[in-house]
Structure 1
Amino acid sequence: MNTLAAPQRTASVRARVPVTLDRAAGRTAQLVTFHDLPDALEHLACVLPYAPQTVPLVRLHSECMTGDVFGSARCDCGPQLDEALAAMAEQGGVLLYLRQEGRGIGLFNKLDTYVLQDQDIDTFRANRIIGRGEDERDYRAAAAMLRALGLTRIRLLTNNPDKVAQLRDLGIQVDAVVPTGVHLTEHNARYLAAKAGSGHTLTLQRETTA
């Protein structure tokens, strides 16, 4: 009996996916998988076509199931994902979806910290209380993914200077840092204040929406 062979994953597999969500304006993206990454996790690249010979816009987006999938208002992850895909729908680019939930501490640990945050403890201190680091993410896998895609020069969409510093240390040339919007609401104000206090380049003004 004939059987279908699985794709050979020597470097990466590209699957054309019609992204029909409003966030990507119905553009067709390529979802790219990788193997032999430094952390052995199943990270994914979403590539929207960009003009040749240009320095593409890149977003490193750490997985946030609560915000990206379920629309949690406790953070700004979902709106940042929407913003990045909308920008790339216009000009093309690469979104690396990194499986580093909760700044690298995992989904269940992140939900444990939510209980502490409800006791007026900020997100970084809550991580420390449960015995984890404030931010355990590293971007070696991201740098490897970019190289696999043939990218060593990028424009990085971020407000996080640590992403810029780590990528540069890993040999990725960041030509420009493009700031993300400040998606401030009454529900995530304390969270964003903690991010600003940790060094993120955020200006928190009275943009709060209900």
Structure 2
Amino acid sequence: MVSQVKSKKRVTDHGEVFTSEREVNAMLDLVKQETERIDSRFLEPACGNGNFLVEVLRRKLSIVEAKYKKSQLEFERYAVVAISSIYGVDILDDNARECRERLFKIFNEQYTRLYKAKCKEDCRTSVRFLLNRNILWGDALDFTNPETKKPIVFSEWSAINGSMLKRRDYVFKFLVEQTHQFSMFNDEGNAGAIDEPIKDYPLMHFLKLADYVAD
């Protein structure tokens, strides 16, 4: 059984108690259809080390495998889309880092099992890049990084023309203030009620996402 508490001090200082696997699954089953949509976006504003996001990714990747495993390129493309749709924020840096590692491990174990020596490092690198952009160390109450106090900025990823992804960056605070609570992007893939991103990037092939300037 996985512990729901790392330490008494963390509970006292941050109210940190992780949700159990049974509770996670029961809650996600309430929105089961969305958890099985490859491109449906999920944000966990206090993600801890990723218990909710891990299960969301498992469900999405099971759909990707069932539909696309016969074509490695299609599996890679839709796995990247699934991962690009998952967002998390946690006030503790070690939790955010652990969450990224858990999510990467789930993807990588499935990817390696399916394609073994044919796996592409470019695909793994793109997944790492997405997780570094989507799972952030930050305070979801004041919308800033606890150390730098810079605003939290999330990237919206939209699949375009098959293998291309479009990236647009938005300030998290404005997304929350001008959309339904923690529903960052609407079903059409646009930031709700927000006209302009703070940065708009050129299209990039899904296997070359790390070629975006790191910022």
Q: Same fold (TM over 0.5)?
A: no
Instruction: Tell me the TM-score range normalised by the shorter chain.
Output: under 0.3
Structure with a larger share of its residues in helix: 2
Structure with a larger share of its residues in strand: 1
Normalised TM-score (structure 2): 0.27
Normalised TM-score (structure 1): 0.27
